[in-house]
Structure 1
Amino acid sequence: MYDCEGCGPSRQGLFFGSGIGEAKWWCWRCQSADQKELIRYLDDHARGVLSRDADGVHWPYGPNIYVQMRADLLDWADRHDLKNGNTGCSSRLHWLDRGRCAKRECQGRPEFYDHTTTWLSRTTGKPALVFNQPYRQVDPAEVWDAISEYPSLTAEVGPESWYGAGTSGVYIWNDGNRSMAVRSSR
């Protein structure tokens, strides 16, 4: 439960504004017409990027309550030509490498896995990225060690992250499944 800027304690609403700790909570009832229009715009823009059902868009943790994260995630997904993917694979690396979990007992995840999401190329429809956004700086050697048994995977570590809040971006790519436009722009 959060304190709505308009009416007090509320369970349903969203944070508007930039930055965790600086954004203000507005319940559905107290949101302005502009805020409601922004939500509609972002939900419409999420079509083809995130899954949805009768209840609406399935925003990942963070963007599920922070409007600025929604906008940042959609801009990021557009830049990388990605849409969300789904897997039951614990490490997600088998899924990224083969398109499915190839091990019967897939256990464990690297320590840098935090705010982990899986992504498909919009162009190829195949697994393209496992994206992590940990709160700590990650040594690229740690990532390369985690993917060493998968020759089709590459890794990048950098500051770009749609989650924000001081997180870094850890990209684990299947370059063969990335869209050509994204590969050629690097």
Structure 2
Amino acid sequence: MYDCAGCGRTRRGLFFGSGIGESQWWCFRCQSAEQRELIGALDGRARGVLSRDAEGIEWPYGPNIYVNMRADLLDWADAHGLKSGSTRCSSGLHWLDKGRCAVGECFDTPGFYDHTTTWRSRTTGRPVLVFNQPYGPPDVAEVRAAISEHPSLSAEIGPESWYGAGTASVYIWNDGNRSKTAGIAP
């Protein structure tokens, strides 16, 4: 919790504005009607894209408190035809490759794993992407080594994505499931 820009009190709320350093924290009590309407619209868009829990939409780290990241994440997921996935596999690679993790001791994650999310195809429901957003450029050799035991997987490194804050993008795709995802060519 942070100090509210409206009342100055430390209360539960969300950051509004563009960029991590430029956003202001507004507690739920002080949020404007427009801010509440925006939150409602984004939560509505998130249905069918993100999982839900007892408190509502399960926003990943970042969008859980930054409203602009919520919009960016949903635009990104829409563009790629994705919905959130989940796995107990710490790297997500066994899940991505085989649809499950049967390794039992899958505890290691490569150094480029940060702000990691797992994604399924909206059309087939199959695992299609493990997405990482590390700070700074990832080591290409480390990315290749991470997927080397999984011939059905490929990796792409790109510029900043929905997390922002100077992060890069590491897309690890299941190519067999990728071609079945709307809007993405293998």
Q: Give the TM-score band, short-chain normalised.
A: over 0.9
Partners of 2:18 and 2:140 in 1: CA distance: 29
Partners of 2:184 and 2:45 in 1: CA distance: 23
Partners of 1:140 and 1:124 in 2: CA distance: 30
Partner of 1:79: 79
For residue 125 of structure 2, what is the amino acid of its counterpart?
Answer: G
TM-score when normalising by structure 2 = 0.95
The one-character-per-residue Cα deviations of 1:7-35 (angstroms, maximum 9, x if unpaired) are 01223100000100110000001111000
Aligned residue for 2:75, secondary structure, equals helix
Partner of 2:176: 176
- Root-mean-square deviation over aligned CA pairs: 1.2
Shift of 1:180: 4.6
Checking the alignment, whether the CA contact within 8 Å between 1:15 and 1:26 is kept in structure 2 is yes
Partner of 1:35: 35
Partner of 1:68: 68
Aligned residue for 1:145, secondary structure, equals helix
Partner of 1:132: 132
The one-character-per-residue Cα deviations of 1:51-86 (angstroms, maximum 9, x if unpaired) are 113321000110000000000000000011000000
Shift of 1:90: 1.3
Aligned identity (percent) is: 73
1:55 matches 2:59: no
Partners of 1:170 and 1:90 in 2: CA distance: 16
Aligned residue for 1:64, secondary structure, equals coil
Partners of 2:104 and 2:41 in 1: CA distance: 42
Partners of 1:95 and 1:11 in 2: CA distance: 38
The one-character-per-residue Cα deviations of 1:138-165 (angstroms, maximum 9, x if unpaired) are 1323211110000000000011411000
Checking the alignment, whether the CA contact within 8 Å between 1:143 and 1:155 is kept in structure 2 is yes
Distance change in 2, residues 1:26/1:180 (3 Å): closer
Which runs of 5 or more structure 2 residues have no equivalent in the other structure? none
Which runs of 5 or more structure 1 residues have no equivalent in the other structure? none
